Structure 1
Amino acid sequence: MVELPIDDADAALYTVGQVAAMLHVQVAFLRRLDELGAVVPIRSAGGQRRYSRREINRVAALMKLISEGLTLEGARRVLELQARVEELEADLDQARHHGRGLSAT
């Protein structure tokens, strides 16, 4: 099977206009997220913003939290904390797995 960029959640394939249309937001909103560091897309050689599926999902998650009453900064912080919890859970799983391997010897 051939691995294509469209299969990669981190492939920056979508323009700011495409993302705005997909998520029903203004381009200015996406630019603001970039300026604040909440969602920072890759820049093309010509300087245009290019978004990956992962970044699009992050914008959607921010929008959901904002619609629930959080400020943009609060929503950004929630997503950072969620990502950190996921990292810690993965580390814990790895440590548990490694610990089981040690006790078997």
Structure 2
Amino acid sequence: MSHLPFDDEHAPLYSLGQVAEMLQVQHAFLRRLDQQAVISPSRSSGGQRRYSRHDILIVQHVTRMTEEGMTLIAIRRILQLEQEVVELRQELKLACARIRELEG
């Protein structure tokens, strides 16, 4: 059975209006996140923003941080650092596996 677009958490399926309604945020807030490069959703062929489930989770995370008083510049840096941590953990996991392989 083939995978459908909604099976992929990175498939850009949701419009700005749908996301705004889902998360109870203003359209302008989502546009500002894109303009400030906090989150950059995909674009449809007509240029409309399209969000994936993964994007929506990030917007939720960003919304919580803004409610705690963080600026968008700070949030963008936090998201970058969180991504670096994910990548470093993956590298560490691979390095540990390689060490076990060499020792065993």
Quick check: 2:37–2:76 contact (8 Å CA) kept in 1? no
For residue 9 of structure 1, what is the amino acid of its counterpart? E
Structure 2 CA distance for aligned equivalents of residues 86 and 47 of structure 1: 31
Over the aligned positions, Cα root-mean-square deviation in angstroms equals 0.9
Q: How many residues align?
A: 104
- Residue 90 of structure 1, CA deviation: 0.9
- Where does structure 1 differ by over 6 angstroms across 4 or more consecutive aligned residues? none
Q: Which moved more, 1:11-20 or 1:62-71?
A: 62-71
Question: Residue 89 of structure 1 corresponds to which residue in structure 2?
Answer: 89
Structure 1 CA distance for aligned equivalents of residues 68 and 32 of structure 2: 19
Identity %: 49
Describe the superposition over 1:2-53 as per-residue Cα deviations: whole angstroms up to 9, x where unpaired: 3111010110000000000001011111111111111111111111110001
TM-score, normalised to structure 2's length?
0.95
Unaligned runs of 5+ in 1: none
